[in-house]
Amino acid sequence: MKSGLLYIFLSVLLSTKFAGIVQVDKTVHDWGDVTVNDGPLNCTFTITNISNKPQTIRRVLKTCGCTKVSWSTKPLNPGEEGFINVTYSNDEGPYPFDKTLNVYFDGVKKPLLLHIRADVHKVKLPIAQTYPIHFKGLGVKSTDIKVGNLLQGEQKSNEFTVANVSQTPIVLGWTDLDPQLGIEPRNQTIEPESTARVVVTVNANRARWGKNHYIATAVVNGEKADWHIDFTAVTIENFSNWTQKQRDDAPKAEVETTMDTSPVKRGENMNAAFEVSNVGKSPLIIYKADYDNDIIKSLDSCNTIESGTSQIFRYEINTSGFKQDSENTLVITLYTNDPTHPMLHFYIDAIIL
């Protein structure tokens, strides 16, 4: 047995409600399909103060000089709305982009993350080519759609675009919806060679943690499609209403591991192990473990790590599916009730001979 390089990354994800102080009307603005000749693209994010004291947007950092940003600079009183205006120059040529904005508020260390995105084309493509997956005149770009990150007790919405690629109107409906999934409008008429927006909403459920799949099937002119759309969302614990005492008494995860960069022959099983210690004051709960590849096999089972104790997690990786002379990264994610580390990401680098 051989071991690969193992390293750990801890992260916190944000939702439409941020830090218990503000709510944003959306975290993503998608312009959809545009061309290089459409000129600058504009959008606005609306920020609402949901706390009981004034909140101020201190600054908004962008990741590209192609983006201009302005925002409400005066303090927002409780219930008051502010704005973040964004202009994308659209002068970088044809390519799909996804830009991030980091929004900082007074007294809060971590930023609210917002995204702007679009698919920029050199020229306008035929609608059937832009939406290549077809059924009875309905066209979609993909049957796998990411909704985003979801906090327990809340819901998350996202938009996606569909098209009528035929020469006659179609009536689009939906069936076989997952119980935690909502779609609006449930029925709509789409004119020939035109597009329509669909809003999908996922509701959190404490029986479902981490990455989950929510299925819906399109119905076109009364006929059920022979494929379904798979919406994915990642659900983590919600700490937004925790008191300071709850945070002081919370569990706290610390991780130790031995790193080994030894190459592995293709077909050999590779082992990885890491130890999670709970140095907090209350039990650390492991709600779920997600693996980004089904070649990862868990050798241990643990749902709770008591205060002052630790647990070793061991994994076996079948390397038969890797290419020879390749470097590969596998990700294991544990979802916890630690407010500082609700997600523990473990990265395993496998160097294959």
- Over residues 99-118, the pLDDT tens digits come to 999 999 998 888 998 999 99
**pLDDT class of 53 with cuts at 50, 70, 90:** very high
Taken in order of first residue, the domains within the chain and their CATH numbers are 2-12+244-352 (2.60.40.10), 20-124 (2.60.40.10), 125-239 (2.60.40.10)
* DSSP notation for 137-198: TEEES-SEEEEEEEETT-EEEEEEEEEE-SSS-EEEEEES--TTEEEESSEEEE-TTEEEEE
260 vs 86: CA distance, rounded Å: 45
pLDDT tens-place string over residues 182-229 = 999 999 999 999 999 898 999 999 999 999 999 999 999 999 999 999
25 vs 72: CA distance, rounded Å: 15
- Confidence check: pLDDT of 340 > 80: yes
Q: Is the pTM of this model over 0.85?
A: no
- Give the tokens for residue 236: 């983590």
Beta bridge partner(s), residue 112 = 103
Beta bridge partner(s), residue 49 = 22
309 vs 282: CA distance, rounded Å: 11
Q: Where are the alpha helices (DSSP H) in 60-162?
A: 127-130
145 vs 147: CA distance, rounded Å: 6
Do 190 and 135 meet the contact criterion of CB atoms below 8 Å apart?
no
- Confidence check: pLDDT of 16 > 90: no
What is the average pLDDT value for the chain, to the nearest integer?
91
- Confidence check: pLDDT of 12 > 80: no
